[in-house]
Amino acid sequence: MAKKKGAKANGEGNIVKRKDGRWMGQVMLGYRPDGTRDRRTVYGKTRQEVANKLAELKVKAARGELPAPSKDTLGAYLREWLEAHRRFGGSGGQGLRLNTYRAYESTIRLHIAPMLGDRPLQKVTATDLERLYQAMLDKGLGMRMAEMAHNILHLAFTAAVKKGLLARNPCDQVPSPPRTRYRAEDRPRLAWEDVPRVLEEARKTRYYLPILVAMGTGLRRGEVLGLTWRRIDFEAGVIQVREQLQYDADNKLRLVPLKTRSSVRDVPMPADVAAALRRHRAAQKVVNLEGFVFTNRNGGPIRPKDLDYAWIHIRRSLGLDERLHLHDLRGSYTTWLAERGVNPKAAAKILGHSDLKTTLALYQSVTKGMMEEAARALDGFARTAEEK
C-alpha cells in the first residue's frame, strides 16, 4: 500500500506544520533523572529539515552525546560553578587562592553577568561571546580583562561539557579569542648601574631590607614578605622559599603554601644580602624563629601595598621608568644573571619558573643585546688595518 503524502515514517517522531508556515517536530528520548519525560522539540522551514534534525537528535542520544536539558541561565550556572571551583578547582584540585577567586567573582559579576547572565546556558553561542569581548574592549577595559573573561568562561563551559550540560564548549568556536601580547622580555628592567642609586634611596625608608632581598634573590613580593627566620639558612647561604604572604577570606594576612612545586626552592644569598640579614637579626634580638623577618612598627607582617607604595616613591624620586613595577625587580634579577653568564636552567630553578621557556625568553632578549654590543666593539677594525 502506498504511503500517504506527509505521513510520518516509522520512528520519525511527531512532525506538524504550524500556522506560521514553519514545521515543528517532537521526539521522546527517554526519561530525565527526575522521572519526567525527556521530550525534545525542533523547528525548520521544511518537513525534511525537521525530520533530519530529529534523526540527528536520536543518533546523538544513542551515542550519549546529547546534553541533558537544562533551564539554567548562564548567570545561575556560573554562580554554582564558581562556588564549586573555589573549593575544588585550582592547582591540584586544592581550591582557588583568595585573590584568584576575587578576580573571577568580580569579572563574572561586573562584566559577564550584566550582558549574558540571563541567557540560557545551552543557548550561549560563539557570537554571544565575541560580542561580550568586543563590548568589554569598547568600554576601555583592555585586552587583558577580555582575555580573563574568556579564560573563566572556558573553564566553566568545560565543566558543563563534562557534566553533560553542553555538547561542546562555545569558547572553542570563537574564531579569534582575546589574547594579550604581554611578553615578560618586553617589561622595563632596572639597569645594573642604577642599583646603587636605588639602594641609597631605599635606605631612607623602612623598606630597605625587603627591597635589597628582592633585588638580590629575585623572590616574588609575597615570598619576600612571607619570610620567617627559620627559612634563612646562614650556614648553607640560602633562603628556603616555602610559603608566601597573602590575604585570606577574612582579609587578614596569612602565610600560605606556594602555588606550584617548582616555586618551592632554595635560593642562594649574595654575601651582601646575607650580611645585611645577619645585622638585622641581631638588631631584632630574634628569639622566635617562626617570626617574620620583615615586620611593621607593631611587629606584624608588612602589607604588600605598603611595599608597593615605597617602591613607587623610590622610582619617582630617581626619575626611573614609570612602568617599572616592584615585580620587575624579579625580571631585572634574571637579566643580571644572563649578563653574567649564569646557565638558564640554573636561573629557572632559582626563580622557581615552572616553564624553562619563560627564563629562556628573558635570556634571549639579553643575549641578543650582548651580541650586538660585541659586534659594535669591533667597529672600525677594517679602517685600522687599512691605516697600517
pLDDT at 239: 97
Instruction: Give the per-residue pLDDT at 245.
Output: 93
List the pLDDT tens digit at each of the 388 positions of the chain.
Answer: 444 444 555 455 689 899 899 999 988 877 666 677 778 888 999 999 999 988 888 887 776 666 666 778 999 999 999 999 988 887 666 778 888 898 999 999 999 999 999 999 989 999 999 999 999 999 988 888 999 999 999 999 999 988 888 888 999 999 888 887 656 667 889 999 999 999 999 999 999 999 999 999 999 999 999 999 999 999 999 999 999 998 876 778 899 888 788 899 999 999 999 999 999 999 988 778 889 999 999 889 999 999 999 999 999 999 999 989 999 999 999 989 988 888 889 999 999 988 888 788 777 666 666 666 666 666 665 655 455 5
DSSP 81-113: HHHHHHHH-SGGGS---HHHHHHHHHHIIIIIH
pLDDT, position 119: 93
Query: Among 29, 2, 4, 24, which Cα is nearest to 14's?
Result: 24
The pLDDT of residue 1 is 46
Locate all alpha helices (DSSP H) within the chain, ordered by sequence. Answer: 47-63, 74-88, 98-107, 113-116, 126-138, 143-162, 195-202, 208-217, 221-225, 271-284, 304-318, 328-339, 344-351, 356-376, 381-387
Which of 107, 155, 156 has the alpha carbon at shortest distance from 132? 107
| Measured distance CA(234)–CA(278) in Å, rounded | 8
Contact yes or no for 332/215 (Cβ under 8 A)? yes
Q: Are 348 and 209 in contact (CB under 8 A)?
A: no
- Burial class of residue 318 (count of CB atoms within 10 Å of its CB; 0-12, 13-18, 19+): middle
Do residues 207 and 215 make contact, with C-beta atoms less than 8 angstroms apart? no
Locate 287 and state its grid cell.
628569639
pLDDT in tens, 327-348: 999 999 998 998 888 888 999 9
Answer yes or no: are the C-beta atoms of 246 and 99 closer than 8 Å.
Answer: yes
Return the number of other C-beta atoms located less than 10 Å from residue 172's C-beta: 12
Does the pTM of the predicted model rise above 0.75?
no
The helix/strand/coil state of 370 is: helix
Q: What is the pLDDT of residue 47?
A: 92
